[in-house]
Amino acid sequence: MFRVVLGVALAVALVAAVVPALEDARAARTERLTERELDRVEAAAVTLAREESPGARRTLSVSLPGDPPTATPVLFVALGGLPGNGNTTATDTAARDVLAYSIAGGDRHVRRVETDLRVGRARRTSSTESRTPGGESRRNGDGPSGDDSRALVLRGGEDYEVTLRLVSPDGRRTVAVSLRPSSSGATRGTVKRGHARV
């Protein structure tokens, strides 16, 4: 009987010692995967802002971890600001912007991007074109919202088609960020309370 009690106590002690290490490893893996996706978005946005041609565009497939056994769930990834009621930061200016994310049980991570990001309008099914005041051709839905206080917020456990497009509102080079409809139709962006929510 004593051996059974000792064995159970030892097993409980081992599990108690291993579980925090496993949780830390899951969180570190999720942060690494999310940072990698944000690195891709940042590189595409900065490269796009340096493009000479108006209307230049990049489309990225962004995959965010959900709740697999080897990763901690991603609560949100925000492009072009912080989620909330029009929250802006000192690093969100006309020349630069922020990308942010948070994982379950973790802190909010904010990083600066050296270009201005604006949430683009939702794409329409028709692809009619219009002209900007500067003569630039633009499809409906490609322009920025004009309001820099909103962020495009993505949730974990989903795959997204993020489109970055170079626009020039007020003569400034700005990258409009929007979601393209997914082939399954499961990903839709709407604007609610000062930020685009998916």
* 2-26 residue pLDDT tens: 889 889 998 988 888 888 888 888 8
Query: What is the spatial order of strands in the sheet that 97-103 belongs to?
Result: 108-113, 97-103, 74-79, 152-154, 195-197, 190-192
Give residue 106's pLDDT.
Answer: 83
pTM, 2 dp:
0.70
Q: Which of 96, 100, 98 is nearest to 114 (CA)?
A: 96
Asked whether residue 40 carries a pLDDT value surpassing 90, the answer given is yes
The conformation of residue 14, written as its DSSP 8-state character, comes to H
Report how far residue 191's alpha carbon sits from residue 182's, in angstroms, rounded to the nearest whole number: 18
Give residue 39's pLDDT.
Answer: 94
Asked whether residue 135 carries a pLDDT value surpassing 70, the answer given is no
Mean pLDDT score of the chain: 75
